A and B are shown apart, each in its own frame.
Chain A
Amino acid sequence: ETGVTQTPRHLVMGMTNKKSLKCEQHLGHNAMYWYKQSAKKPLELMFVYNFKEQTENNSVPSRFSPECPNSSHLFLHLHTLQPEDSALYLCASSQVTATSTDTQYFGPGTRLTVL
């Protein structure tokens, strides 16, 4: 049990669809992250939230829209995606982002396929 859950685990969508990914952490953490994991590429940090405030947007296209209503929940809203957006999307949490020693706890990921 990692304490970080993600739904759905698998998602197939067309380029004109709108869908949302959900992440929930049960660890009492204050920082949450979205990562994109593609084959043969390094893990890409997309967004960081600290105490519900977005602190990092790593030049992510606007077709990805994050939302963090509270410290336990994180969403990634998707619209008009491209096939190259197909990847595993990982959510993570940590106590805070203001220390270099903090461990990140990852969810199992959502495997997204864009047709």
Chain B
Amino acid sequence: GNSVTQMEGPVTLSEEAFLTINCTYTATGYPSLFWYVQYPGEGLQLLLKATKADDKGSNKGFEATYRKETTSFHLEKGSVQVSDSAVYFCALIPSGGSYIPTFGRGTSLIVHP
């Protein structure tokens, strides 16, 4: 079956530090890949996505590149802010079959001033 593996959290950083949250996946074919973010007390919202190999998704300073050869979609940001503190979810939707999403467990990010 399909699966998404994210690094365990929490990830704790100082403001302006570089962020990487690792995500690897298992799926047949060419799934679409997503990063969602959940701020405290809210639902998930799309941060960025990539729909084919070597695509780079970007939004609000965050980037992730779809790497088919390593089945990865790592999230990066060059300089984090306190307001980036949230839980980040990596997800995939397979390219065939039921098109049902699979989510990772989520990685909590805490950014200190």
Q: Is the CB of A2 within 8 A of B100?
A: no
- Chain A residues with Cβ below 8 Å from B89 are 43
Tally chain B residues at the interface, Cβ within 8 Å. 25
Q: Is the CB of B43 within 8 A of A43?
A: no
Q: How many Å from the CB of A5 to the closest CB on chain B?
A: 10
A56 to B93 Cα, complex, angstroms: 15
A108 to B45 Cα, complex, angstroms: 10
Nearest residue in B to A97 (C-beta to C-beta)? B99
Tally chain A residues at the interface, Cβ within 8 Å. 26
Nearest residue in B to A40 (C-beta to C-beta)? B105
Q: How many Å from the CB of A23 to the closest CB on chain B?
A: 11
Main secondary structure of the interface of B (DSSP, over half): loop
- Chain A residues with Cβ below 8 Å from B43 are 2, 4, 6, 90, 92, 106-109
Q: Is the CB of B44 within 8 A of A100?
A: no
Q: Does B41 contact A (CB under 8 A)?
A: yes
Q: Is the CB of B44 within 8 A of A90?
A: yes
CB contact under 8 A between A97 and B44, given known A41-B105, A43-B106, A103-B34: no
Q: Does B22 contact A (CB under 8 A)?
A: no
Q: Does B42 contact A (CB under 8 A)?
A: yes
A40 to B104 Cα, complex, angstroms: 11
Nearest residue in A to B4 (C-beta to C-beta)? A42
Q: Contact string, A71-115, partner B, CB cutoff 8 A, digits 1/0?
A: 000000000000000000010100001111111111111000000
Q: Is the CB of A98 within 8 A of B106?
A: no
Q: Does B51 contact A (CB under 8 A)?
A: yes
CB contact under 8 A between A101 and B100, given known A2-B43, A90-B43, A109-B43: no
- Chain B residues with Cβ below 8 Å from A45 are 100-101
Partner of A100, one of B36, B42, B95, B103: B95
Q: Is the CB of B104 within 8 A of A101?
A: no
| Extra inter-chain contacts (5) besides given A43-B103, A105-B46, A109-B42, CB under 8 Å | A2-B43, A4-B43, A100-B99, A104-B101, A105-B45
Interface set of A (CB-CB < 8 Å, partner B): 2, 4, 6, 40-43, 45, 48, 55-56, 90, 92, 97-109
